[in-house]
Structure 1
Amino acid sequence: MKTIIPMLLAFLMVSVSSCQKNDVEPEKQKFIQLDEKSAQLVEADNAFGLELFQKIREESDEENLMVSPLSVSVALAMAYNGAGGDTKKEMEETLKLNGLTPEQINASYQSLISALQSLDKDVVFEVANAIFYADGFSIKQNFLDINKNVYYAEVESLNFSSSEAVGTINNWVAEKTHDKIKSIIDQLSPLDRMVLLNAIYFYGTWTNEFDENGTHNLPFHKTDGTTLEVPTMSKFEKLPYFSTNLFKAIKMPYGNGQYNMVVLLPVDGQNSQDIIEALSVKNWKNWQASFKMTDRVEITMPRFKYAFETKLKKVLRILGMQKAFDEGLANFSGITDEDLYISEAIHKSYIDVNETGTEAAAVTGLVFTTTGVGNEPPSVPFYVDRPFVYAITENDTGAILFMGEVNHPEYD
C-alpha cells in the first residue's frame, strides 16, 4: 500500500523512539497514534467485524470458528475502489464507512497496515494482497493503480481457461500464509474474470510462555453437557483482567505487549453464545476500557488448533451488501466496462495456540464474474474449561485482527 497523497499520509503517525545502537540500551518500544479519521476507520472495521462474526456464528454449524475482520475489510475495501452507484453505497453502509472519502479510506488502510507490520520485532504480522485477472479482460488502469500503489497488490493476468490458473492462485495463498492455508478456489468458470485476494499471517510468542511440563489432561465441559479430557496448559501471570455478570476476561500479551489475545470466559449460568450475542462496538469498547492489571491470575487453558472456512455471500447480503452479488444490479464500473458482479466471497482461517504462542492465518477471496505461593497475593482463578470466545487485538488502535469461538478444543 504505497503511493498516496502526502496530506493523507498525515492520518496515521507511528511514533518510534530512537534507539542507540550499543549493548547497554535496548530497542525502545514502538507505538501507533491514530488521528480522528484513522480511528474512525478502525472503529468501523471493528463494528463490521463484530456483526460479521455474529452472523457467521448464526449461519455455521461448525463447533469451532474463526474469522479475520481485517482480512475481510481489506478485501472489500479493494473491491470498493471499483464500485459505483448503489453498489458502492451499500458497501459503504455494510462496512460502516459513511463519513469517510475513498481517499481517506485508502490512506488510513495504507498507514495502518504499514504500522501493524513493523510494530513488534518479536511478532510476525504480514498482510498481502493480489489481483489475478483473465487474459483479455479489459480492466481499468486506475483500479489497478490504486490497488497496486495503496494496497501493495500483486497484479497478474492468467489464462483462466487453463487449470494452471487455479494452481497459481492457490500457490499464492499457500505462500502468503506460510502453508497454513493451501487453497482458496477449486475451479474457475468460463465467465470468471477476476480473483481479488487478501491474506494475513500472524505469529507471536507469549510474553510469558506456558511451561510445557505444566500441561496435563483436564476436563473441558461442553455446552451440551458432555465432557472431554484435553491437554490443558497452566501458568500464573500478572496481566489485565476483569469480570462482569456475563464473563470474566484476560488479556495475554505477545512479544513486547502491543498484540494480545483477549479470552472471554462465560461465568456459571452463561455460555459462549451469550457472549457473542452481546458483541457490539459500544460493549467491546467498554470492555476493553475495563481491564485492570491484576497481580496473580491462575490460568488454565487448552491447547487448540483448527481450520475454518465459510462462504461470505449470504452473510454479507444479510448485513446489507446486496447488489454487489446480483449479476443484474451490481455496478463495478470502476473496474471494467463489462457487467461484473461478485459470484463468490470465500474466507478461510487457521489458528494454532500452544505453550509457546499463537500462529494464525486468514485469506479472503472475491471472485468477480461477468453476466453472460509464600507471601504472594491471592490468585484469581481463570480456568478455561468450557466453550469460550477469543480475539487477537492490537493495543494502540484497538483493531480486532482475529476473532473466534472454541466449543471443542483439539490439537492434532
Structure 2
Amino acid sequence: MGTHVGPLLAVALGVLGAGCREAPITAPRPITSLPRALGAGESGLIGADNRFAFKLFGEIARRAGPDSNLFVSPLSAAMALGMAYDGAAGTTQAEMQRALELTGMTLDDVNQSYRSLIALLRGLDPGVAFTLANSVWYRPSLTLTPEFVDAAQTYFGARVQSLDFATPTAAPTINGWVSDQTRGKIPAIVPDPVPDDVVAYLINAIYFKGDWTMRFDPARTTPGPFTLANGAQTSVPMMTHGRTVTIGLLHDGDVTVLDLPYSAGAFTMTIALPRQPGGIDSLVAGLTEERWNRWTAALDSAALEVHLPKFTLRYALTLNDALKAMGMPSAFCDSGHGDFARMNPSGQLCITDVRHKAFVDVNEEGTEAAAATAVGIGIVSLPPSVVVDRPFVFAIRERLSGTILFLGRVMNPAAVSGP
C-alpha cells in the first residue's frame, strides 16, 4: 500500500545510532526482565521523572510553533536539574521539588535512586550502546560545599573540576567533554566564550545507539506521502521490512500505539499515532504519565507490515521559561531570590539558564540519539499494516523499568529541525 509521513514530536537526551546492513537471521536472546527488582525509591523516581517528562514536553510544545518538530531528553534535563536540586535550599528547593515532581521523596531517596538507576540502565542490553554522564565545572573563585561535591560524585558519578572560565580553552574543554560523551552528536552546549556572569555549569549528557531487533530493508526504502497536520502532503523516505514483523500494538480510541524493539528488547521506540493528522495537538496536550502507563501496560503482540519514515532531527532550546511556568521561578537569577546555600555557603547562587540540545537519527538499521543539558549557575546579585504517515509522538524508553529517555513529536519528517 502507499505510504505517507507527517508531523513528529520528540523529547530526548542522548544519542541513538543506526546503520544500513541487513537484518540478522537470528535476533538476540530476548531480555524479558530486569536483572533485579526495582526498589520503592527507584520506582518513585522513575514515576517522578516520567511525570516531569510529560509536563515539560507539554510546556515546550505549547510554546513551540504549531508545525515544528520537537525532540528533547527529559531524563537529561531532570538529571542536570537533580544535581542543582542537591544544592538548593529554602523556597528554591521547595519549588524545584514540586517542578521536578519529587514531592514525597526525601533528598536521600532521590540521590540513592539516581545512583542505582544509572547503574541499572548502563549495560542493561549489551547490544545497545548507552552512555549517561554528569559533570560539574566551576570557577576557582567559587567555593562549593563538601556536601554538594560529595553528592555529585557519589550519586551522579559526576566529574567535578575547577576551571578558569576566563581562558580561551574553557568552553572548548567543557564542550569537548560533552562531545566525547555523545560521540560527537552534541558538539557544543555552552557558549564560547563562557559568559562573565556564569560561575559554574552542571551538565548531563546521554547517548543511545541501538539496532532494531528486526532491521528495515534499505533496498525497500522509497519516497512515500506523509500527511501534515493541516492536511497537505509531502514526500519523505519511507522504510519497510517487506514482510510482517512482530511488534507491540494497541488501539485506544483515536490513537494507535506501536512499540518497536531494539536489540534484545529492553529498549524500544514507542509511537503514538492519532487517527487523523490534525489530532496531533490534542494527543500531545493529553499526554500524562497515567495515560502512558496504561498504553504501555496494554500493548499486545501483533504481526504487521510496518512503514516508518526515515528522519533526522536536531533540536536546541533554552528551558528557562518552561521551567518557570512549571513552578520554579525563584531558582533563576532574574527573580533575585535564588537560594543554593547547600551548594555555596553564601546562598547567593542562582540559575542563569538551562540549555538543552538533542539529536536523533532513525534509519533502516536502528536509531542513534543524544542529548545534553547544561544548567548555568550565576550570582543572585548579577543579572495488518500500519503506516506512520501523519503527525505522531514517539518516545525512546527502557521498557522493563519504564524509564523514558526521549520524547518527540514529528510534524514533518522532511523538515530539518534545529540550527
When the two structures are superposed, what TM-score results if normalisation uses the length of structure 1? Answer: 0.89
Q: Map Cα deviations across residues 6-44 of structure 1 (whole Å, 9 max, x no partner).
A: xxxxxxxxxxxxxxxxxxxx9884615212221111011
Report the Cα distance in structure 2 between the residues aligned to 1:177 and 1:42, rounded to whole angstroms.
23
The corresponding residue for 2:357 is 348
Instruction: Decide whether aligned partners of structure 1 residues 83 and 196 sit closer, same or farther in structure 2, where only a CA change above 3 A counts.
Output: same
Q: Give the SS at the match of 2:118.
A: helix
1:218 aligns with 2:224: yes
> Which segment drifts farther, 306-315 or 26-35?
26-35
> Which stretches in structure 1 are left out of the alignment for 5+ residues?
1-25, 373-379
Report the Cα distance in structure 1 between the residues aligned to 2:99 and 2:224, rounded to whole angstroms.
42
The answer on whether the counterparts of 1:303 and 1:411 sit within 8 Å (CA) in structure 2 is: no
> Which segment drifts farther, 260-269 or 399-408?
260-269
Report the Cα distance in structure 2 between the residues aligned to 1:162 and 1:270, rounded to whole angstroms.
51
The corresponding residue for 1:168 is 173
> Which segment drifts farther, 268-277 or 386-395?
268-277
> Which segment drifts farther, 344-353 or 187-196?
187-196
1:170-185 pair list within 5 angstroms: 170-185=175-190
1:307 aligns with 2:344: no
Report the Cα distance in structure 1 between the residues aligned to 2:276 and 2:345, rounded to whole angstroms.
58
Q: Map Cα deviations across residues 236-256 of structure 1 (whole Å, 9 max, x no partner).
A: 211210112221111000011
1:394 aligns with 2:401: no
1:46 aligns with 2:50: yes
> Which segment drifts farther, 81-90 or 155-164?
155-164
Q: Map Cα deviations across residues 166-220 of structure 1 (whole Å, 9 max, x no partner).
A: 1111111111110001111213222311011000000000000001111111111
1:56-71 pair list within 5 angstroms: 56-61=60-65, 63-71=68-76
Report the Cα distance in structure 2 between the residues aligned to 1:388 and 1:28, rounded to whole angstroms.
27
CA-atom RMSD in angstroms: 1.6
> Percent identity among equivalent residues?
35
The corresponding residue for 1:227 is 233
The answer on whether the counterparts of 1:71 and 1:200 sit within 8 Å (CA) in structure 2 is: yes
Report the Cα distance in structure 2 between the residues aligned to 1:75 and 1:207, rounded to whole angstroms.
31
The answer on whether the counterparts of 1:253 and 1:259 sit within 8 Å (CA) in structure 2 is: yes
The answer on whether the counterparts of 1:66 and 1:404 sit within 8 Å (CA) in structure 2 is: yes
Aligned length: 379
The answer on whether the counterparts of 2:71 and 2:313 sit within 8 Å (CA) in structure 1 is: no
1:28-43 pair list within 5 angstroms: 29=31, 31=34, 32-43=36-47
Give the ranges of 4+ consecutive aligned residues of structure 1 lying more than 3 Å apart after TM superposition.
26-30
User: Which structure carries more relative contact order (alpha carbon 8 Å, separation 6+)?
Assistant: 2
1:320 aligns with 2:324: no
Q: Map Cα deviations across residues 321-362 of structure 1 (whole Å, 9 max, x no partner).
A: 111014521110011123110011011000000000000001
Q: 1:363 aligns with which of 365, 372, 385?
A: 372
Report the Cα distance in structure 1 between the residues aligned to 2:50 and 2:42, rounded to whole angstroms.
12
Instruction: Decide whether aligned partners of structure 1 residues 269 and 82 sit closer, same or farther in structure 2, where only a CA change above 3 A counts.
Output: closer
1:284 aligns with 2:284: no
Shift of 1:392: 0.6
When the two structures are superposed, what TM-score results if normalisation uses the length of structure 2? Answer: 0.87
Match for 1:77: what amino acid? G
> Which segment drifts farther, 152-161 or 341-350?
152-161
The corresponding residue for 2:164 is 159
1:135 aligns with 2:140: yes
